Structure 1
Amino acid sequence: MEQNLEIVMSLIMNAGNSKSFSMEAIKAAKENDFPLAQEKLKEAENSINAAHNAQTSLLTKEASGEKTELSMLLIHGQDHLMNAITFLDIAKEFVELYEKINGSDKNF
């Protein structure tokens, strides 16, 4: 169970980091710093991948017969992951929109 707790905490931490990086990307784009915005989106992607890997680890254990105890921390982690994925998708759209509005994207 202790190992699963570490995995759940990794899920929470990485999903939270992804959401924070996504917010930083939007802020950078709003300030016309598109290289920084793209860097923050990449950091958000890396964090979301780490969170997803933690989730996959729990799913793999469950599929091999090791039951994962349902806890508020696990629910919280899943909630963080879903919100972080959604927030990252929206951040990408915002950055692209700011690029178009500010003339950095010639396809507008």
Structure 2
Amino acid sequence: MTSETIEITPEDIFGLIALSGDAKASYHQAMLLMQEGKVEEAQAAVAAGDATLKDAHSIQTKFVTLEAQGKTATVGVLMVHAQDHLMNTILVKEMLGYMMNMQNEINQLKGMDQ
């Protein structure tokens, strides 16, 4: 079986980096809003981050799909960097759920609940 070599474009790589970074920024904003007791605004920031992360993940899915079809690409440092950004953003999202629940309890104990 001969595999076809594909080129991962700089646009895809930098798109993955930018979208991952934007999603992570939304998640950080959500945590800051929770600390201020602004639950609805925090939830909106999480939703914005989720939408952006979905776009980033669709780029990742394209890469995985091409490889599953037997097409290979040369992976350089920028692609590794992009994958690192995506992975870290996914981890921030996972941890944010726990942190927002804890912050909500703290806010309730402080009498900050809406």
TM-score normalised by structure 2 residue count: 0.82
Q: Residue 45 of structure 2 aligns to a residue in which SS?
A: helix
Counting matched residue pairs gives 104
Q: 2:33–2:41: 8 Å Cα contact kept in structure 1?
A: yes
Further displaced range: 75-84 or 94-103: 94-103
Counterpart position of 2:79? 74
Unaligned runs of at least 5 residues, structure 1: none
Larger Rg: 2
Q: 1:7–1:58: 8 Å Cα contact kept in structure 2?
A: no
Deviations 1:49-108 (A, max 9, x none): 111111010111122232122111110011001100011111222222111222249xxx
Further displaced range: 7-16 or 27-36: 7-16
Stretches of 4+ aligned residues off by more than 2 angstroms: none
Aligned equivalent of 2:55, options 45, 50, 57: 50
Q: 1:11–1:54: 8 Å Cα contact kept in structure 2?
A: yes
Aligned equivalent of 1:33, options 38, 44, 55: 38
**Bigger fraction of residues in strand:** 2
**Bigger fraction of residues in helix:** 1
Identity level (%): 27
What is the CA distance between 1:8 and its match in structure 2?
1.7
1:98 maps to amino acid: Q
Q: 2:35–2:103: 8 Å Cα contact kept in structure 1?
A: yes
What is the CA distance between 1:11 and its match in structure 2?
1.2
Output the CA distance in 1 between the equivalents of 2:63 and 2:11. Answer: 11
